[in-house]
Structure 1
Amino acid sequence: MTSTSCSAETSGCARSPSPSSRRPVPRPPRGGGGAPPSAHREPLIQIFISNRGRGPTATATWGLLAAWAIHDSEELVTMGGWLAGWLDRAGPRLRARFPQVPERVWDQVRVSPSQARIAIGAMGAVMAAAAASGARTGGRSRFYQPTLVGFGLQAGGHVAQAVVTRGYTPGVVTAPLVAAPFSLWAWRRLRASGVPRDGHAAVVGAALLLPITAAACHALARMLAPHRPR
């Protein structure tokens, strides 16, 4: 049985539905303004899709900093004790073998443990900046790519130092085992990920960047920790 109600403003009567015939009205989600849930998930999906291509290059970019840390940890641990007596032991033999080298050059070769730590720290800042630049650009950075190539090429310098000195030199173990293999792997990783590469420009950039950066780091170390008069 239903009840009826009439009003003066209306021309007819409206039936009031029975409680059993009423249906619940769906309520919009809180704070959503009535938008369907999929509309709120869409930006997250788009972010995921846009970041998928960065995954493969992350190991090649931030991995550069990790590989450098492993390599220079060897130098940091061994350089202090090695430098303390190396020049005194090998100096006379090297002077006799290379008499054309001026004496001031041999003086510049001498590096104190504190200078070595400062120089390694400064180089670490450069490597971190290069890795960050590579990660930000998906490996396309013109700063990151020459740094990556230079990191691999400097392994040859470590091996050459060991040959010249006829013995161990700091970094000679991890240079061919970590630095060179990682640089080659990361370069191939960039190609597999479709990242544009310019090998010639990277080699030229590395040839310019490596000595300038190394000289600047050592100059900073000598300025902050000058040699004491002997």
Structure 2
Amino acid sequence: MSNSPGDEKVGAAVTLGLLAAWALHDAEELATVPGWWRRELPALRERFPTVPEAVWRRAGSVEGREFAVAVGAMAAVVAAASAAGRLTGGRSAVYRTALDAFGLHGLVHLAQAGLVRGYTPGSATSSLVVVPFTLWARHRLRRAGVLRPTRPRDLAVGLGLAGVATVGAHAVGRWLTGVTSARRR
């Protein structure tokens, strides 16, 4: 058995592990986001006065149900990317871009925590799960000969995917919870 690049197989821990790591991370967010925003919003407004008021109003108006639906919508995206990775042995561009997006998302959480000089939802699992898993999975993909060196374009596409998927998931959450709220009236 050889240990040269390309000889190692990419297993489920690398590909489906993305979904598992994401689930751990988003469990932290589900548990902490609504209460954290309620507690921290006044102090954040005061500390960052240049942020437009519309941003603070929108952030403060996301209810727990809407956020949970958005997390469910994102679960579908991550599950599809993980499955694509599994089916292609990690060669799927969708999977690799989602993996990059996940890792970059974790770095954004850590930057947010640094900016507020304290805990922000998602920052605990970003440092313990998201970033370490992403680095480990990328290392395994490189050893298997599946991943080429990262280019700035790859990072931009990963950040773009994370942004678009997040906005889309929240739009789905807002739409679905708005639809169900309207039905109850």
TM-score, L = length of structure 1: 0.68
Equivalent residue pairs, number: 171
Taking only aligned residues, the RMSD between alpha carbons, in angstroms, comes to 2.0
Change (3 A) 1:163 1:204: closer
Residue 84 of structure 2 corresponds to which residue in structure 1?
133
- Identity across aligned pairs (percent)? 46
One-letter code aligned to 1:151 = F
Residue 158 of structure 1 corresponds to which residue in structure 2?
109
Per-residue deviation, residues 111-166 of structure 1 (Å, max 9, x unmatched): 21111111111111110000001111111111110110111111121122222333
| Counterparts of 1:130 and 1:216, CA distance in 2 | 16
Kept in 2, the 8 Å contact 1:155–1:172? The answer is yes
Residue 3 of structure 2 corresponds to which residue in structure 1?
none
- Partner SS state of residue 225, structure 1: helix
* 2:51 maps to 1:101: yes
| Counterparts of 1:222 and 1:166, CA distance in 2 | 30
Kept in 2, the 8 Å contact 1:57–1:189? The answer is no
Structure with more relative contact order (C-alpha pairs < 8 Å, separation 6 or more): 2
Structure 1's consecutive aligned runs of 4 or more residues displaced over 4 angstroms after TM superposition are none
Deviation at 1:54, TM superposition (A): 8.9
| Counterparts of 1:104 and 1:140, CA distance in 2 | 41
Higher helix share: 2
Identify the match of residue 167 of structure 1 among 108, 111, 118: 118
Structure 1: runs of 5+ lacking an equivalent: 1-52
- Partner SS state of residue 93, structure 2: coil
Kept in 1, the 8 Å contact 2:78–2:98? The answer is yes
Structure 2: runs of 5+ lacking an equivalent: 1-6
| Counterparts of 1:86 and 1:98, CA distance in 2 | 12
- Partner SS state of residue 56, structure 1: coil
| Counterparts of 2:155 and 2:67, CA distance in 1 | 26
Pair member with larger Rg: 1
| Counterparts of 1:74 and 1:220, CA distance in 2 | 21
Kept in 1, the 8 Å contact 2:105–2:159? The answer is no
Deviation at 1:55, TM superposition (A): 5.1
Per-residue deviation, residues 1-49 of structure 1 (Å, max 9, x unmatched): xxxxxxxxxxxxxxxxxxxxxxxxxxxxxxxxxxxxxxxxxxxxxxxxx
One-letter code aligned to 2:64 = P
Residue 143 of structure 2 corresponds to which residue in structure 1?
192
Residue 211 of structure 1 corresponds to which residue in structure 2?
163
Identify the match of residue 74 of structure 2 among 117, 123, 128: 123
